[in-house]
Amino acid sequence: MGPRLAPLALVLAASAADARELHGLAFYLLVAGVAVAAVSALSLFGELVELSERRHDERFARLEVVFAVLGLVCVLVSAAARGHMGEGAAAPPPAVSALVAAIAVYAFHAVATLYRAPQRD
């Protein structure tokens, strides 16, 4: 559960930095978030590849990979949109929209993981 929540924590921290008008800090948190989100997505993809049978677990694992990749794209877009801004400049609207989308995707992913059906062997 920890690697799945790390991207959400960084995205929420970047959002809090934006709210306090610390846009430079928010940019660096998002750059770190790109790396963390990529590792998380690759880890989930590795878990999907290691599943041996076609079960309910495989469908959920595929859904987790889709959420992780979608969240990664949102974080990447938000960081890239901020990359050309000057120091102290406010975040452009596409960066803010991508940040909100990343929060929504990672929050939904976290809730889906919490409500995952118990595994049956």
Per-residue pLDDT reduced to its tens digit, 54-67: 666 777 888 889 99
Residue 121 is assigned to a structural domain of this protein:
no
Residue 65, token pair as written in the block: 């990979």
pLDDT average, residue stretch 74-103: 87
Q: For residue 69, what are the domain limits?
A: 2-114
Residue 101 is assigned to a structural domain of this protein:
yes
Average pLDDT, the chain: 86
Q: Which residue has the higher pLDDT, 112 or 76?
A: 76
Residue 103 is assigned to a structural domain of this protein:
yes
Spatial separation of the C-alpha atoms in residues 11 and 116, rounded to whole Å: 23
Assign 9 to helix, strand or coil: helix
Name the nearest CA neighbour of 105 among 2, 3, 25, 12.
12
| pLDDT for residue 120 is more than 60 | no
Report the number of distinct structural domains present in the chain.
Answer: 1
Residue 54 is assigned to a structural domain of this protein:
yes
pLDDT of residue 13: 95
Residue 65 is assigned to a structural domain of this protein:
yes
Residue 35, token pair as written in the block: 């790396």
